């Protein structure tokens, strides 16, 4: 598979780009909802429109009513989301939760997937229990109780947790906290008794919940996949989410870089366009190179994941880490090269910096993934 988009994918990219620039742009979405202190941090109207575009169910199989597309296609949509800083449940619902639900019983699929595909439902995933991503450790417990389970423990930084109709929760059904085995995934409805959420607003205006489960009773059919065998599904979900976050990060980087390069061509100081100064030219050219390399790593990871290649896991961590570094550079250079105006709330470049910070942390930062690259490579 060559490392560029096929004709069909290029067409999808064109329509996603047009749609997101028109409907998902910063003034219509991010600033609009932020300035109204929206409790969800995103607009349900846009989510509905994304369903009409066919985006919401793109990773859902055709048998289950979706489009049966792959990570390259989901990445195309995510890049445009990143470029426009569009707040939406796409990454959590259509990528992470959809991947988990792909392993669910037909009963669970029937309950949740139509709502996702129609843009009616929003899902969240609850994995982390600490401020740093550490999915090897799952302490939240689900004890057998009657025909079902009783869920106890807590999860932190669950993105859009309070806005979701259902939350995919990774819990421990056997073993100790650090064990590989003994994990089970559950589909927990928003209205479950004993679940309490404490939503907090994050730096990028998105909402995340700290969730407590106090003996939440779940039916046996809330289980996604196999009891005690959830690690595999969790890993599939993480891989999809990480490669998706990388794609969104490429969009954030590109958006910030484009803004900055435009600014270099307009802003005059000392009687010259600042883009004429070699000190800035070299930094801009270095930034361009880093973003291109990050983009290449991302499409490579998407393709390997779609092929089910053994090296997909390694490349996914390479992409997540590389994008975090490149996008981090893009937003830092962006703010610095804009000078004073870059520090104002009125100007958009700072919004890129905030989104990048949240995205870089989500599902493991550059250091987490560099460490993983070393571990997967045997050192």
Partner 1 sequence: MSDLEKFRAETREWLEANCPEEMRQPVREDDDVYWGGRNATFKNDAQKAWFEAARDKGYTVPSWPKEYGGAGLSPAEAKILRQEMAAIGARPPLSSFGIWMLGPALLKFGTEGQKKRFLNEIARGEIRWCQGYSEPGSGSDLVSMQTYGEDKGDHWIVNGQKIWTSYADKADWIFCLVRTNKDDKYKGITFMLFDMAGEGVSTKPILLISGNSPFCETFMDNVKVPKSYGEDCPGYVGEINRGWDVAKYLLGHEREMISGMGGGDRLTAIGTAMTRHAAKNGDEIDPVLRSEMALFDVDALAFTAMAEKFMDEMKAGKGHPAQPNMMKYVGTEINKRRHELMMSAGGSRSLEWESEETRGGKAPRDWLRTKANSIEGGTSEVMLNVISKRILELPGG
Residues that bind partner 1 (CB under 8 A): 2-4, 261, 264-265, 272-273, 275-278, 280-282, 284-286, 288-289, 292-294, 296-297, 299-300, 311, 314-315, 317-319, 321-322, 325, 366-367, 369-371, 373-374, 377-379
Nearer to partner 1, 127 or 301 (CB): 301
Nearer to partner 1, 138 or 337 (CB): 337
User: Nearest 5°: phi and psi at 61?
Assistant: -65, 160
Nearer to partner 1, 146 or 310 (CB): 310
Nearer to partner 1, 211 or 329 (CB): 329
Give the CA radius of gyration of the chain: 21
User: Nearest 5°: phi and psi at 369?
Assistant: -80, -30
Token pair 């309070």: residue: 162
Q: How far is the CB of 362 from partner 1 (least distance, A)?
A: 17
Q: How far is the CB of 375 from partner 1 (least distance, A)?
A: 9
CB-based contact 316:239 (threshold 8 Å): yes
Nearer to partner 1, 35 or 276 (CB): 276
Nearer to partner 1, 233 or 274 (CB): 274
Residue 54 falls in which region: left (phi positive, over 0), alpha (psi -120 to 50) or beta: left
Q: How far is the CB of 302 from partner 1 (least distance, A)?
A: 11
Q: Give CA–CA dist 365/251, Å, rounded.
A: 17
3-state secondary structure of 141: strand
Q: How far is the CB of 342 from partner 1 (least distance, A)?
A: 18
Nearer to partner 1, 227 or 296 (CB): 296
Nearer to partner 1, 305 or 318 (CB): 318
Q: Which two tokens stand for residue 363?
A: 């599902």
3-state secondary structure of 190: coil
Q: How far is the CB of 314 from partner 1 (least distance, A)?
A: 6
Nearer to partner 1, 233 or 327 (CB): 327
Q: How far is the CB of 259 from partner 1 (least distance, A)?
A: 13
Q: How far is the CB of 21 from partner 1 (least distance, A)?
A: 21
Q: How far is the CB of 17 from partner 1 (least distance, A)?
A: 17
Nearer to partner 1, 144 or 272 (CB): 272
Q: How far is the CB of 330 from partner 1 (least distance, A)?
A: 13
Convert 187-220 to b/e letters by CB count within 10 Å (16 or more is b): bbebebeebebebeebebbbbbbbbbbeebebee
Q: What share of the chain is helix, strand, coil (3-state, %, to 5)?
A: 55, 15, 30
Q: Strand 166-172 and strand 183-189: pairing?
A: antiparallel
3-state secondary structure of 377: coil
Residue ranges with strand state E in the chain: 123-126, 141-145, 148-159, 166-172, 183-189, 195-201, 207-218, 223-224, 268-269, 272-273
Q: Which two tokens stand for residue 328?
A: 């981090």
Q: How far is the CB of 123 from partner 1 (least distance, A)?
A: 30
Q: Give CA–CA dist 299/294, Å, rounded.
A: 9
């Amino acid at each position: 598979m060559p490392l560029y988009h096929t004709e069909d994918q290029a067409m999808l990219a064109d329509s996603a780009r047009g749609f997101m620039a028109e409907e998902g742009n910063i003034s219509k979405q991010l600033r609009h909802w932020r300035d109204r202190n929206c409790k969800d941090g995103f607009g349900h109207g846009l989510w509905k429109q994304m369903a009409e575009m066919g985006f919401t169910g793109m990773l859902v199989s055709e048998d289950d009513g979706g489009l049966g597309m792959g990570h390259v296609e989901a990445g195309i949509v995510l890049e445009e989301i990143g470029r426009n800083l569009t707040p939406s449940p796409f990454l959590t619902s259509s990528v992470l939760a959809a991947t988990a639900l792909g392993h669910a019983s037909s009963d669970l699929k029937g309950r949740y997937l139509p709502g996702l595909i129609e843009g009616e439902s929003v899902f969240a995933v609850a994995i982390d229990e600490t401020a740093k991503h550490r999915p090897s450790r799952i302490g939240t417990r689900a004890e057998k109780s009657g025909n079902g389970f009783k869920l106890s423990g807590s999860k932190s930084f669950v993105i859009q947790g309070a806005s979701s109709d259902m939350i995919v929760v990774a819990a421990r059904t056997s073993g100790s906290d650090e064990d590989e085995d003994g994990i089970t995934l559950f589909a927990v409805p928003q209205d479950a008794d004993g679940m309490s959420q404490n939503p907090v607003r994050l730096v990028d205006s998105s909402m995340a919940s700290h969730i407590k489960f106090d003996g939440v009773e779940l039916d046996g059919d809330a289980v996604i996949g196999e009891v005690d065998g959830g690690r595999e599904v969790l890993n599939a979900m993480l891989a999809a989410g990480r490669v998706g976050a990388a794609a969104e990060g490429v969009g954030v980087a590109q958006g910030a870089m484009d803004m900055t390069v435009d600014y270099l061509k307009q802003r005059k100081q000392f009687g010259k366009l600042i883009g004429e100064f070699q000190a800035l030219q070299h930094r801009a050219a270095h930034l361009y190179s880093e973003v291109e390399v990050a983009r290449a790593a991302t499409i490579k990871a998407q393709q390997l994941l779609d092929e089910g290649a053994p090296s997909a896991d390694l490349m996914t961590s390479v992409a997540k880490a590389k994008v975090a570094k490149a996008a981090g550079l893009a937003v830092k250079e962006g703010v610095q090269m804009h000078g004073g105006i870059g520090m104002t709330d009125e100007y958009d470049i700072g919004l890129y910096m905030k989104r990048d910070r949240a995205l870089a942390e989500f599902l493991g930062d550059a250091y987490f993934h560099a460490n993983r690259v070393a571990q997967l490579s045997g050192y």
